[in-house]
Amino acid sequence: MPVIRRDDVAVREGGDYPAPFDGRLGRYQDWPLGDAGGLTQFGVNLETLFPGSTSSLRHWHETEDEFLYLLEGELVLVDDDGEHAMAPGDAAAFKAGDANGHHVKNTSGKPAIYLVVGTRAQEDRCHYSDVDLLLTKTKDGSAFTHRDGSPLRAKG
């Protein structure tokens, strides 16, 4: 596929966190451009984060690298060292195994558009810094659990 047009790629909205962690992030959209191109070794997503929204729960990966490049708007990168303002042309890199949990938030009045590139390891554990949540990815699928590996309980 020589050219991938964003308008030809199905947009995804919202996150996929289980209860009670769902619904915390605000409005978010992403276009899985790498999937549209058939990439399997790394992911590439074009993402829009709307005012007042957060990209994800603060997290870090044991085996996956992540890279973010801000195209338009303003973001605030939040990690263990505090808050860091980002402007168009700024980038952030998150090395696999670095336990410095991170996410970005949009505190401005306009949408922010950025590109995210990341490894697609067959096995990974994603740790969430501020909540009792762990995502374990294996060759057979992915599952959210508590940090100690115990199952999450359904609301009710």
**Superfamily classification of domain 6-122:** Jelly Rolls (2.60.120.10)
CA–CA dist 27, 48 (Å, integer): 9
Strand order across the 12-13 sheet: 12-13, 28-32, 42-49, 112-119, 66-72, 91-94
Q: Which residues lie closer than 8 Å to 156 by C-beta, 6 or more apart?
A: none
Domain boundaries, the chain: 6-122
Q: Can you list the pairs that 17-20 forms with residues at least 24 positions away whose Cβ atoms lie under 8 Å?
A: 17/57, 17/133, 17/144, 18/144, 18/152, 19/152, 19/154, 19/155, 20/155
Q: Mind listing the pLDDT tens digit for each residue in 63-114?
A: 999 999 999 999 999 999 999 999 999 999 999 999 999 999 999 999 999 9
Question: pLDDT tier at 1 (50, 70, 90 boundaries)?
Answer: low
What's CA 137's distance to the chain center, in Å?
Answer: 15
What's the pLDDT tens digit per position in 4-24? 999 999 999 987 899 888 888
Amino acid at 75: L
- Beta bridge partners, 49, equal 28, 112
0.95 surpassed by pTM: no
